[in-house]
């Protein structure tokens, strides 16, 4: 005997129902069958909601017609596929049940309430209808059917909704049919009745459970649950797109996963199956070739992963009883849990409290009020005597669990789980480890549940990672960055890293889209939107959407933007930027940012602040972290000035050198921005601070290149360029004086004896900066370890291309924790 259960998803329309019937017909060749069917997909929800709608004044006849039409349409369609179906008889069955539905709804309308017994009578109508349809088709296929009345077979406690089976009675009822000679024993799922004969149900999703009871009662040698997914996955595949299909698992793992919310199985289904060691498969009725998940006594297959699966349970409340006097109350835990169990409320988990003065546990939200009441009654004396301070109930929670038999022997599961939650800033309210070390559960806010599942799945299964970028500033670097991201997106996706740009803002407008903005035509999209650019709006968007691995990329040079980073960190985003303003702001703000980033576990990435794409900041940070100390620094830190001074070597006049550099795109539009030395001063300050020293931008000494009158910001660019030749002579004299000594002029930033200085110096051939020109940067660090020969980093240190590439590399660092990403 085999028992097969078909869920609503397998019976969603005529085509699926027909496929299921053929499947049953074929399987009959192998074995006699017990078949359990659920209601057609969506029908139970519809019936449930109808009762609420009627109480709110909905039109009964419309509801009845909806139910009727849905089933008539399916019957009409099936009659074309199976010509021997007696359509008339079948439709009159539907009409009968529709009439019953109508009568109940009218009763509810009159009563102005819906007693549990009526609720049950209505909600089971879906199964009553679907089983009739299945009987008609199987008959049409020539199979002999014995219809089992599930109320007669499955006997339960008195609860109208969510009743508990009385196992021995139930099994013996089924046993009476073991010898039946029919091809098929057909039964609706979900429906049962109490020993006194009152109608009950096994709770929502309960057809799985009905079928399990049938499988045990009929002593099935195989039990199959047919649904709409290929089997049990490492997480709900509707939530985690790249969840991993599990070929097999143990009964205990399946029990634990379903208990903690994996909807693919009703939570109580596996217990009777496991007790009788019935091999079980979860199969996909939409993909017959998929092998499915095999659930059996011991899953031997050794998983490459630390855990088997991740699930979450919503609609949970947590009750905590606390008070300084609790330690002295004898048997307090027994009394608390006794009071709850007398109310027949199930405990989802008991939390490990951090103090000895609190006992906490979770129940379904629906049970929260009555659990609280039970505790208040049980503990009223202690409450009056202030031995117990409070009984609190926290609502709107969820439980997220990781499950796997391997946890007992493998190390680091809890660590990985909590790191994953911390990485997306999820607040863990309580923790519980299953006694059998098969699961670890955390209680979180309901609003955090989905991203907790997603991030935990990423950490445990090393599958697809997301990086969600919000880019502010689409000038040369910003737009180059978007080009680079666009051209790499596919390649990165192949490495399981999905890079999405979810926000693009210029100084006027912005687009926000959590699904990702198409980079084919972002300029057009940006020109079309009306949304005004707003950093607070971006921050609020992230507060609301809580995107995983969100990163704020600032490609402006705006101080205003840099002053928002502290809020950006608070919203749980990383920051990557070539903008030097934040790191050269006050020492106070510099420290605040690091503190905020640390508190939130976010990254602050600014490798391109100095030397564009050259690995400067990272190298320096590693030196300092590993205990080295900066003694001296000397460097050419400006690509523009490297270019200008290189031309002076070749006897080009100063004004010509500046004009040429500008024409080649080596300088800012206003070359004075470079020639003022301020940009170099900022870079120098950043290096100084990275080396562990404290200073403000005003502490950096700038020996000006230009005379004061040329530096006047009120002078236009054209006027400046015209006035520049008058200054050529002065520079030429310096160049010639240097050359007379076999030296060249270089604009250098230096740190010496705690003093940061920017100025022009003459260097001879032996000096590491002598050959640096044409836009190249060179940075020479003399440290305790690198002395007397300094550590030199050299290469192109300017240009939109290399800067954007540096920012891109920073962005990818937020994924670097993943070992599959190398
Ligand atoms: P049926 O109507 O066949 O009983 P259900 O909707 O009750 O189907 O259960 C199947 C659904 O369970 C799947 O569509 C899937 O979204 C959900 N599910 C939740 N967790 C898991 C999991 N770990 N593996 C597979 N499916 C899961
Ligand atoms: N039809 C019922 C429900 O939707 C039982 C089931 O499908 O398992 O909850
Ligand atoms: Mg189900």
**Distance in Å, CA 490 to ligand 1 centroid:** 30
Residues whose beta carbon lies within 6 Å of some atom of ligand 1:
7-10, 38, 205, 227-229, 232-233, 235-238, 262-264, 309
Alpha-helix runs per DSSP H in 436-521 = 449-461, 476-494
Ranges of the chain whose pLDDT falls below 70: 299-303, 352-356, 816-822
**In 10 A of CB 640, how many CB atoms?**
24
Q: Compute the Cα dihedral for 667, 668, 671, 675 and give only its sign.
A: negative
- Would you state the pLDDT for residue 408? 81
| Annotation marks residue 263 as catalytic | no
Q: Which bin fits 207, alpha (ψ -120 to 50), beta or left (φ > 0)?
A: alpha
Pair 277, 297: CB distance under 8 Å = yes
The three state secondary structure string of 697-723 is HHHCEECCCCCHHHHCCCCCHHHHHHH
Q: Looking only at Cα atoms, what is the longest distance across the chain?
A: 114
Q: How far apart are CA 510 and CA 708, in angstroms?
A: 40
Would you state the pLDDT for residue 302? Answer: 62
Helix H, strand E, coil C: the string for 276-309 is CCCCEEEEECCCCCCCCEEEECCCCCCCCCCCCE
pLDDT at 821: 32
- Tell me the angle at which helices 125-140 and 43-55 cross, rounded to the nearest 10 degrees: 150
Angle between helices 125-140 and 87-111 in degrees, nearest 10: 180
Give the containing element (helix H, strand E) for 757. Answer: strand 755-764
Residue pair 285/16 in contact by the 8 Å Cβ criterion: yes
Closest CA to 195 of 225, 215, 165: 165
List residues bridging with 511 in a β-sheet.
Answer: 504
The strand order across the sheet containing 280-284 reads 145-147, 184-188, 33-37, 2-6, 222-227, 280-284, 293-296, 248-250
Q: Which long-range contacts (CB under 8 A, 24 or more apart) does 530-536 make?
A: 532/508, 533/472, 533/505, 533/506, 533/507, 533/508, 533/509, 534/505, 534/510, 535/472, 535/505, 535/560, 535/561, 535/564, 535/567, 536/564, 536/567
Calpha distance 686→454 (Å, rounded): 37
For residue 133, what are its two tokens?
A: 């349809």
CA of 264 to the centre of ligand 1 (A): 3
Whether 250 contacts 405, CB under 8 Å: yes
Q: What percent of the chain has pLDDT over 90?
A: 83
Distance separating alpha carbons of residues 481 and 105, to the nearest angstrom: 62
Distance CA(302)–CA(772), nearest Å, equals 58
The dihedral region occupied by 310, where left means phi > 0, alpha psi between -120 and 50, and beta the remainder, is: beta
How far apart are the CA of 229 and the centre of ligand 1, in A?
7
Specify the pTM. 0.75
pLDDT of residue 685: 98
Give Cβ neighbours of residue 791 (< 8 Å, ≥ 6 apart): 619, 623, 780, 781, 782, 783
Atom of ligand 2 nearest to the CA of 209: 8
Protein residue with its CA nearest to atom 16 in ligand 1: 238
Contact 161, 203 (CB under 8 A): yes
Q: Is 188 in the pocket of ligand 2 (CB under 6 A)?
A: no
**Ligand 1 pocket: which of 8, 23, 229 to mutate (most atoms <8 Å of CB)?**
229
Residue 90 CA to ligand 3 center (angstroms) comes to 25
- The beta-carbon contacts of 732-735 under 8 Å, at least 24 apart in sequence, are 732/653, 732/654, 734/760, 734/762, 735/648, 735/651
Q: Could you write out the DSSP letters of every residue in 71-116?
A: HHHHHHHHHHHSTTS-HHHHHHHHHHHHHHHHHHHHHHHHHTS--H
DSSP state of 448: G
Backbone angles phi and psi of 351, in degrees to 5: -95, 150
Handedness of CA 186, 189, 191, 196 (dihedral sign): positive
- Residue nearest atom 12 in ligand 1 by C-alpha distance: 264
Contacts of 289 (CB under 8 A, 6+ apart): none
Q: What is the pLDDT of residues 133-173, one digit of tens each?
A: 999 999 999 999 999 999 999 999 998 888 999 999 999 99
**What is the rounded CA–CA span in Å between residue 455 and residue 420?**
6
- Does residue 205's CB lie within 6 angstroms of at least one atom of ligand 2? yes
User: What's the gap in Å between 231 CA and the centre of ligand 1?
Assistant: 9
Ligand positioned closest to the Cα atom of 37? 2
Distance CA 591, CA 526 (A): 35
Coil, strand or helix: which one is 392?
strand
Atom of ligand 2 at shortest distance to CA of 45? 4
Spacing, Cα 410 to ligand 1 middle (Å): 28
Residue of 779, 635, 754 whose CA lies nearest to 693:
754
At 586, list the tokens.
Answer: 């006050």
Q: Please name every residue paired with 281 in a beta bridge, in sequence order, or none if there are none.
A: 224, 294
Q: In the block, which residue shows the tokens 């699930």?
A: 311
Tokens 């910001």 found at? 713
Exactly one of 5, 268, 581, 683 is catalytic; which is it? 683
pLDDT in tens, 84-128: 999 999 999 999 999 999 999 999 999 999 999 999 999 999 999
Q: Please name which of 286, 136, 267 lies closest in space to residue 212, comparing C-alpha atoms.
A: 267
Which residue in 254, 146, 140, 276 sits closest to 208, CA to CA? 254
With the most atoms of ligand 1 within 8 angstroms of its CB, the residue from 39, 126, 236 to mutate is 236
Q: How many helices (H) and strands (E) does the chain have?
A: 30, 29
Q: Which residue's CA is the nearest one to ligand 1's atom 11? A: 264
Phi/psi of residue 177, each to 5°? -105, 5
């Amino acid at each position: 005997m085999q028992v097969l259960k078909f869920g609503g998803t397998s019976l969603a329309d005529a085509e699926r129902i027909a496929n299921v019937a053929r499947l049953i017909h074929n399987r009959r060749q192998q074995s006699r069958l017990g078949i359990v069917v659920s209601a057609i997909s969506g029908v139970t929800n519809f019936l449930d909601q109808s009762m609420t709608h009627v109480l709110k004044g909905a039109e009964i006849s419309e509801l009845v017609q909806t139910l009727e039409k849905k089933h008539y349409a399916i019957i009409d369609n099936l009659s074309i596929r199976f010509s021997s179906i007696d359509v008339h008889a079948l439709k009159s069955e539907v009409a009968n049940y529709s009439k019953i539905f109508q009568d109940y709804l009218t009763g509810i309308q009159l009563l102005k309430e819906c007693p549990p017994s009526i609720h049950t009578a209505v909600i089971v109508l879906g199964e009553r209808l679907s089983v009739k349809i299945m009987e008609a088709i199987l008959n049409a296929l020539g199979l002999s059917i014995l219809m089992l009345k599930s109320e007669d077979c499955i006997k339960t406690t008195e609860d109208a909704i969510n009743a508990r089976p009385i196992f021995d009675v139930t099994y013996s009822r089924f046993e009476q049919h073991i010898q039946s000679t029919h091809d098929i024993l057909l039964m609706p799922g979900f429906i049962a009745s109490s020993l006194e004969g009152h109608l009950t149900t096994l709770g929502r999703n309960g057809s799985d459970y009905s079928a399990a009871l049938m499988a045990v009662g009929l002593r099935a040698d195989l039990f199959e649950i047919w649904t709409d997914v290929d089997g049990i996955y490492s997480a709900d595949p509707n939530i985690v797109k790249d969840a991993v299909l599990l070929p097999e698992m143990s009964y205990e793992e399946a029990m634990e996963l379903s208990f903690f919310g994996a909807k693919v199985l009703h939570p109580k289904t596996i217990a009777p199956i496991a007790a009788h060691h019935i091999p079980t498969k979860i199969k996909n009725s939409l993909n017959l070739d998929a092998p499915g998940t095999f659930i059996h006594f011991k899953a031997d297959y050794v998983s490459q992963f630390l855990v088997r699966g991740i699930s979450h349970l919503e609609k949970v409340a947590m009750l905590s009883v606390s008070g300084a006097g609790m330690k002295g109350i004898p048997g307090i835990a027994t009394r608390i849990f006794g009071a709850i169990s007398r109310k027949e409320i199930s405990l989802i988990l008991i939390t490990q409290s951090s103090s000895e003065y609190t006992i906490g546990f979770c129940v379904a939200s629906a049970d929260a009020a009555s659990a609280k009441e039970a505790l208040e009654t049980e503990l009223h004396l202690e409450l009056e005597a202030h031995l117990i301070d409070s009984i609190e109930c926290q609502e709107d929670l969820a439980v997220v669990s990781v499950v796997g038999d391997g946890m007992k022997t493998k190390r680091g599961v809890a660590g990985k789980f909590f790191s994953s939650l911390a990485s997306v800033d999820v607040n863990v309210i309580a923790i519980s480890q299953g006694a059998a070390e098969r699961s670890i559960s955390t209680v979180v806010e309901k609003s955090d549940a989905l991203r907790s599942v997603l991030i935990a799945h990423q950490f445990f299964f090393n599958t697809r990672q997301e990086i969600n970028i919000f880019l502010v500033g689409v000038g040369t670097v910003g737009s180059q960055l978007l080009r680079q991201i666009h051209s790499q997106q596919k390649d990165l996706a192949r490495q399981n890293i999905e890079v999405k740009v979810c926000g693009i803002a210029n100084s006027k407008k912005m687009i926000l889209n959590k699904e990702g903005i198409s980079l084919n035509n972002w300029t057009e999209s940006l020109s079309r939107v009306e949304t005004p650019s707003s950093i607070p709006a971006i921050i609020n968007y992230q507060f609301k959407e809580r995107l995983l691995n969100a990163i704020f990329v600032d490609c402006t040079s705006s101080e205003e933007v840099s002053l928002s980073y502290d809020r950006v960190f608070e919203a749980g985003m990383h920051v990557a930027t070539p903008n030097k303003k934040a790191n050269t702001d006050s020492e106070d703000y510099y420290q605040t940012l690091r503190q905020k980033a640390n508190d939130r576990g976010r990254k602050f990435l600014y490798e391109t602040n100095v030397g564009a794409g050259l690995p400067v900041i990272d190298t320096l940070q590693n030196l300092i972290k590993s205990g080295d100390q900066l003694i001296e620094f000397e460097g050419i830190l400006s690509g523009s000035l490297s270019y200008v001074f290189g031309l002076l070597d070749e006897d080009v006049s100063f004004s010509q050198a500046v004009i040429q550099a500008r024409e080649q795109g080596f300088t800012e539009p206003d070359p004075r921005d470079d020639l003022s030395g301020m940009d170099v001063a900022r870079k120098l300050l950043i290096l100084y601070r990275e080396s562990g020293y404290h200073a403000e931008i005003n502490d950096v000494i700038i020996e000006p290149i230009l005379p004061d009158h040329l530096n006047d910001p009120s002078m236009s660019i054209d006027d400046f360029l015209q006035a520049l030749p008058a200054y050529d002579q002065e520079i030429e004299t310096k160049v010639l004086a240097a050359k007379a000594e076999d030296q060249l002029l270089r604009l250098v930033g230096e740190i010496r004896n705690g003093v940061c200085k920017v100025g022009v110096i003459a260097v001879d051939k032996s000096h590491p900066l002598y050959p640096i020109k044409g836009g190249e940067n060179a940075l020479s660090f003399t440290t305790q370890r690198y002395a007397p020969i300094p550590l030199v980093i050299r290469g192109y240190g300017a240009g939109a291309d290399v800067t954007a590439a540096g920012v891109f590399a920073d962005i990818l660092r937020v994924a670097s924790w993943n070992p599959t990403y190398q």
